[in-house]
Chain A
Amino acid sequence: MSVAASRMAGERAGIDLWLETAAAWLLAFVWVLPLLYAFWTAFHPPAYSTRFDLFAPLTLENFANAWEAAPFARYFLNTVILVSGILAAQFVLCTLAAYAFARFDFAGRDIVFSLVLVQLMIMPDVLIVENYKTMRALGLVDSIVAIGLPYVASAFGIFLLRQTFKTVPKELEEAARVEGASALQILLRVYVPLAKPTYLAYGLVSVSYHWNNFLWPLIITNSVETRPVTVGLSVFASTDQGIDWSIITAATLLTSGPLLVAFLLFQRQFVQSFMRAGIK
């Protein structure tokens, strides 16, 4: 290639890169626009909710009004109980099951494992009719336990941890066994510490999933004492038609706030966790 030709190619690549950067930024702008709009509405007085004036006064009053108009403190408490309860139970159950699948060679293991994987396709989200009946039979309707119970044995978690446990060198386990450690001790001292990144990844995915889950909690709860924030928000936004948009938008940002702030602070971990959970 002659010098002139290669310089021309270089210039063209430069223009291409410039165009691509511009397009990428345009898409990013379009992507954050609805959110920016929500922030504008929530932080300005109702009079400015659809009027764009750079000098419009900022206010937190919409958030205060929303907070007072519905028992959001209770909703937040419910969600925190729900999300941490599910996560703790998932960690225990999935760890035990994943260990059995990864390191024990028992009859019927592969069949049981494929039965577990069925849940990846047929999630509790679509089995609402029968699961409601089960909860009624168990006397659990309108309880936080009922929201979480169908999700506790998570095929995704079992699958993810099994993959990780399989990469642990068998020599480590044998060394521990020689020293007289029981199966449970081996699991807790050898496997769990080595799987920390997987726990973090799975934990973030699980927390954001259950913080955001809506349909099943909507069906199974019907009182302030059990509703998570998502259901609380929908009740708040739909019952009082007279409430203005500024307050509804403020409430919307309020309910997504903790996750959003956590995401913006720990962006790298979030993205890497989701990537890790996806690769396996």
Chain B
Amino acid sequence: MKTKRLDDATAWLLLLPAVALLGLFTHYPAVATLVQSFYSTPKGDRPARYVGLGYYRDMAEDPIFWQALWNNALFALGTIPVSIALALLMAVWVNDRLAGRAFLRMAYFTPTVLPMIAVANIWLFFYTPDYGLLDRLLGVFGRPATNWLGSKETALGCMMVVAVWKEAGFFMIFYLAALQQMSPALAEAASLEGASRWYFFRRVTFPLLMPTTLFVLVNAVINAFRLIDHVVVMTRGGPDNASTLLLFHIYEVAFRFWDTSYGAALTVVLLAILALLALGQYFYLDRKVHYR
């Protein structure tokens, strides 16, 4: 019994540094954000006072908030299926014995290694009206210069392209790992039976990759809400908030207008979205997927 208690003490000592820091920078701020959202932002000699749901009422009437939420939904819906499909395609190609697969793998994966801010700079130039490569390519077909990042219609779409470019290679890696663990006997058996490659992919490979797809999906959704470096660099949410995302709105409210309480209330919404995602994954997806 004595050694058991000693073991317990050792375990807690081992955990202490990690748990303390995790509590201080993950659990405490998550709770503190919620509390803060009920109190007004202290300004000068005016201390914070309890305002109840005041900030949430403001939020309901904040058009930029709704725009950011809508943009974020569009951004997620627009980027995630495309990057997952491309990632799968890339992984199948790299895994097959296609000529030059080492080069293919490098080409697909390289954007992942670059900082998002460097990527944004490169694409900023790419999109430059008139001078940028995009306009010059389209100019060959007689299309007039377009202000890609400066028009409401195209700004968000341009961001999505950048995100897909950056992330598809990253997701490819997970598919590649899963494909390499699959038994080659499956493919041999299928080809003996005369199954086409597409049939084999649809009926065998894709279902077997389901756990990977869900893992990638969850990561992709988190990233869609977490990564805004490209917004900061390329458009600052403009023009007219056409390309703003939820975290970017939080950043602007809290660190440009220094309204930290409203920033906290907005963060609560973001945390709620992420928590829903976690719960959904835990209760629904895990059960459907773990058949192996």
A-B contact pairs, 20 of them (CB 8 A): A34-B123, A34-B165, A38-B122, A49-B131, A100-B10, A116-B19, A121-B222, A125-B226, A126-B270, A129-B263, A130-B29, A149-B21, A153-B18, A218-B232, A229-B115, A238-B233, A252-B118, A270-B109, A275-B174, A278-B177
A182 to chain B, nearest CB (A): 9
Instruction: Contact check, A124 vs B26: say whether CB atoms are below 8 A apart.
Output: yes
- Whether A99 is near chain B, meaning CB under 8 Å from some CB there, is yes
How distant is the Cα of A21 from the Cα of B103 in the complex, in angstroms? 12
- Whether B278 is near chain A, meaning CB under 8 Å from some CB there, is yes
B residues 121-154 touching A (CB-CB < 8 Å): 121-123, 125-126, 128, 131-133, 136
How distant is the Cα of A191 from the Cα of B94 in the complex, in angstroms? 34
Instruction: Contact check, B29 vs A104: say whether CB atoms are below 8 A apart.
Output: no
How distant is the Cα of A262 from the Cα of B232 in the complex, in angstroms? 27
How distant is the Cα of A256 from the Cα of B260 in the complex, in angstroms? 33
Instruction: Contact check, B116 vs A115: say whether CB atoms are below 8 A apart.
Output: no
Give the bracket for the number of chain B residues in contact with chain A.
Answer: 35 or more
Size of the chain A interface, CB-CB below 8 angstroms? 93
Instruction: Contact check, A214 vs B121: say whether CB atoms are below 8 A apart.
Output: no
Instruction: Contact check, A150 vs B25: say whether CB atoms are below 8 A apart.
Output: yes
- Whether B1 is near chain A, meaning CB under 8 Å from some CB there, is no
Residues of chain A within 8 A of B226, CB atoms compared: 123, 125-126
Residues of chain B within 8 A of A128, CB atoms compared: 250-251, 254-255, 267
Contact with B165, one of A31, A112, A214, A238 (Cβ below 8 angstroms) = A31
Interface residues of B (CB under 8 A from A): 7-8, 10-12, 14-15, 17-22, 24-30, 32-33, 36, 86, 89-90, 93, 96, 98-100, 102-111, 113-118, 121-123, 125-126, 128, 131-133, 136, 165, 169-170, 173-174, 176-178, 180-181, 194, 197, 215, 222, 225-229, 232-233, 247, 250-251, 254-255, 260, 263-264, 267, 270-271, 274-275, 277-278
Instruction: Contact check, B10 vs A104: say whether CB atoms are below 8 A apart.
Output: yes
Interface residues of A (CB under 8 A from B): 1, 9, 13, 16-17, 20-21, 24-25, 27-29, 31-35, 37-38, 41, 49-50, 92-94, 96-97, 99-101, 104-107, 109, 112, 115-116, 118-119, 121-134, 149-150, 152-153, 155, 158, 183, 208, 211-212, 214-215, 218-219, 229-230, 233-234, 237-238, 245, 248-249, 252-253, 255-256, 259-260, 263-264, 267, 270-271, 274-276, 278-279
Contact with B260, one of A25, A37, A115, A133 (Cβ below 8 angstroms) = A133
Instruction: Contact check, A264 vs B106: say whether CB atoms are below 8 A apart.
Output: yes
